[in-house]
């Protein structure tokens, strides 16, 4: 009987751990390449109609970005709002070109070789 309680307890702990991992891990950023970019232009507005009839907006950017070693790559990404000019972003890229997510960062958080290219 004691083994049954231990088994149920262990299963419950594993279930809770898996649930916490699913809620806290951002899979859009997991195991992605990172590039750094400075927003220098306003995004190109794209409006589209949702199934509910509402109009949604996306702002598209195509800017040169730099990885940790300073290698340049032009990436295209979108945001739900027009991003602040001169903001520095950390882009999460999968498959070489597809930006899955981004975070705003401070200039001193950017690797040195990418900083040199962004100055």
- Report how many domains make up the chain: 2
Residue 33 CB-half CA count within 13 A: 16
Residue-wise pLDDT tens digits, 36-66 = 999 999 999 998 888 888 888 999 999 999 9
Residues 40 and 78: beta-carbon distance below 8 Å: no
Are 10 and 51 in a shared domain? no
Helices vs. strands in the chain: H and E counts, helices first? 2, 6
Provide the CATH number for the domain around residue 62. Answer: 2.40.50.480
Are 77 and 56 in a shared domain? yes
Higher pLDDT, 99 or 7: 99
How remote is the C-alpha of 4 from its chain's centroid?
A: 43
Paired strand residues for 35: 91
Tell me the residue range of the domain where 17 lies.
1-27
Are 10 and 57 in a shared domain? no
Are 71 and 17 in a shared domain? no
Backbone angles phi, psi at 114, to 5 degrees: -75, -35
Task: Say if residue 5's pLDDT is above 90.
Answer: no
Are 70 and 88 in a shared domain? yes
Are 53 and 103 in a shared domain? yes
pTM of the entire predicted model: 0.76
């Amino acid at each position: 009987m004691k083994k049954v309680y231990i088994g149920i307890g262990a299963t419950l702990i594993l279930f809770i751990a898996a649930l916490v991992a699913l809620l806290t891990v951002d899979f859009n950023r997991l195991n992605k390449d990172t590039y750094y970019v400075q927003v220098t232009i306003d995004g190109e507005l794209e409006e589209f109609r949702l199934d509910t009839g509402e109009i949604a907006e996306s702002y598209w950017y195509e800017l040169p970005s730099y990885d940790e070693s300073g290698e340049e790559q032009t990436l295209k990404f979108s945001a739900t709002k027009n991003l602040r000019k001169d903001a520095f972003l950390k882009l999460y890229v999968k498959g070489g070109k597809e930006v899955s997510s981004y975070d705003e960062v401070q200039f001193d958080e950017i690797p040195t070789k990418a900083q040199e290219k962004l100055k």
